[in-house]
Amino acid sequence: MAGPIRVVGSLNMDLVVQVPHHPGPGETVLGSDYATYPGGKGANQAVAAARAGAQVEMWGAVGSDEFGRLLQENLEHNGVDTRHLRQLEGPSGLALITVDPGGQNRIVVSPGANGRYLPEHLPPFTPAALLLLQLEIPLPTVQAAAEQASAQGIPILLNPAPIVPLPGSLLRRVRYLVLNETEAAALAQSPVETPEQAQKIAQELQKHGIPAVILTLGGAGLVWADGEESGHWPAHPVEVVDTTAAGDGFCGALAACLAAGGSLREALRFANAAAALVVTRAGAQPSLPQRSEIEAFLASAVETA
């Protein structure tokens, strides 16, 4: 695979509050002081891949506000190429996040500029090692990017988050589908409560013509199915502080390893370790590990897969 990893997706500023428990309907909960972290699934995956050693470019949009400037600067600071990032009039994407003592989060996203990033804003496609897509920008933009990538033979990794009904024409273009249990249950319209159920769904989803399906299961690890093999990989036992961006850290590290010529098995092992590190730290992008940290973690980990 030649060229950079291209991420076409969202950038958000995350406003995060630690809470004793997530509020129920009509309930007010007093939480911690708020923290502000750069986030957004697209930008998180771009930074994760860059920290994992890949050359990365980010296509998407920020708003004309102060958050937009900070989000762009932060990507540049992480070595991500932002030449094709657009600035669109109005607010940037914003995410309101609460995190409970178990590290579980609730996220509300105000799309801002991400929601105004349309197919006509996409630059002409040039060669790339891999295209990384999520669903925090309009679906027609995702579809247009996927069309252009497949016309050029660029493999596509789709992380369908947040999940919406997906057209078969998009799924058929995907080389790697990476989704969590909630997204898989919505897509397959079937519960995913055990690794065995997840395995079955991964195999079912493959019937849409997707060569590799990977389901991330939080503390239960991951399952995957590709044409030749399928399996279950347990999660590393770690102390969970904040699960925000665990999936993004996984996708970015997976993409970096695949783009460097790694096999799917090698990439899954690397990404599983990256996700384990992410959940031990607070915030979205501050929690994403460097390649050296992932390698050191793997060198000392007890692996059972």
Q: Which residues are catalytic?
A: 248
**Vertex 73, ends 81 and 100: CA angle to 5°?**
105
Residue closer to ligand RIB, measured from CB, 4 or 9: 9
Least separation in angstroms between CB 151 and ligand RIB: 28
Residue closer to ligand RIB, measured from CB, 72 or 244: 244
d(C-alpha 82, C-alpha 61), whole Å? 10
Q: Scanning the structure block, which residue is given the tokens 């930074």?
A: 47
Taken in order 98, 100, 102, 104, is the CA torsion positive or negative? negative
Q: Which residues of 32-64 are buried (b: 16+ CB within 10 A; e: fewer)?
A: eeeeebbbbbbbbbbbbbbbbbbbbbbbbbbbe
Residues at the interface with ligand RIB (CB under 6 A): 12, 14, 39-41, 44, 95, 107, 109, 136, 244-245, 247-248, 284
Least separation in angstroms between CB 152 and ligand RIB: 28
* Structure token digits, residue 222: 């991951």
Residue closer to ligand RIB, measured from CB, 61 or 245: 245
Q: Which residue is nearest to ligand RIB (CB)?
A: 39
Least separation in angstroms between CB 161 and ligand RIB: 7
Q: How many alpha carbons fall within 13 Å on the CB side of residue 228?
A: 3
Does an H or E element contain 158, and which? Answer: strand 156-158
Residue closer to ligand RIB, measured from CB, 133 or 245: 245
Q: Scanning the structure block, which residue is given the tokens 């911690």?
A: 32
Least separation in angstroms between CB 275 and ligand RIB: 12
Least separation in angstroms between CB 129 and ligand RIB: 23
